[in-house]
Amino acid sequence: MKELQTIIDVVEFAVAIEKNGKEFYEKVSSNFTDKRVTEIFKKLSEDENQHIVDFTEILDKVKKYSPEQAYPEEYFLYFNKIASNHIFNKENFFKIVFKNIKDAIEAIDIGIDFERQSVDFYENIKKIMHEDSRHLIDKLIEQEKVHEKKLRDQKEKMFS
């Protein structure tokens, strides 16, 4: 993983998180036959695609307005720690996870973890973002929370 040293690096990592999430949801939706599961994962994949667009917009703003803005080194140490532990940043994640996913419940659990970790990361990004980008990050955080809820609700339905 590239070390996160600037706000641009942090936002680029957020774009990568969303791309990996989109890929995960696409692969999961094609690996299961349960229509309820495939539909939710297809929708989540589409949503992640919009998040890529949104973070790219934020990245463009950051590059224009604050590329040299200084932040305490502790922020970036913290971001690196969070990023290195993010579920979709693990080396060979897709190869390993798709060999080991036994059922839809396990895929849903991975999705729940992804959404929760993304919310944590984005909450921290918001603290160092320029004010004019915070509303968009708040919107993305809320969407990730909705994704987590949808996944939890789907898991509950499968057990009832």
Residue ranges covered by each domain of the chain = 7-159
Q: Following DSSP, what letter does each residue of 106-142 receive, concatenated?
A: HHHHHHHHHHHHHHHHHHHHHHHS-HHHHHHHHHHHH
pLDDT single digits (tens) 5-62? 567 777 787 888 888 889 889 988 888 888 888 999 999 999 999 989 988 888 887 7
pLDDT single digits (tens) 124-154? 878 777 777 788 888 889 989 999 999 999 9
Q: Following DSSP, what letter does each residue of 12-74 receive, concatenated?
A: HHHHHHHHHHHHHHHHHHHH---HHHHHHHHHHHHHHHHHHHHHHHHHHHHHHH-TT----HH
Q: Topology of 7-159 in CATH?
A: Ferritin (1.20.1260)
How far apart CA 51 and CA 144 sit, in angstroms, is: 9
The two three-digit tokens of residue 9, written as one number: 């690096």
Share of the chain above pLDDT 70, in %: 74
3-class SS of residue 82:
helix
The model's pTM: 0.77
pLDDT single digits (tens) 63-121? 765 544 555 566 667 666 666 666 555 555 666 666 678 888 988 998 998 899 889 88
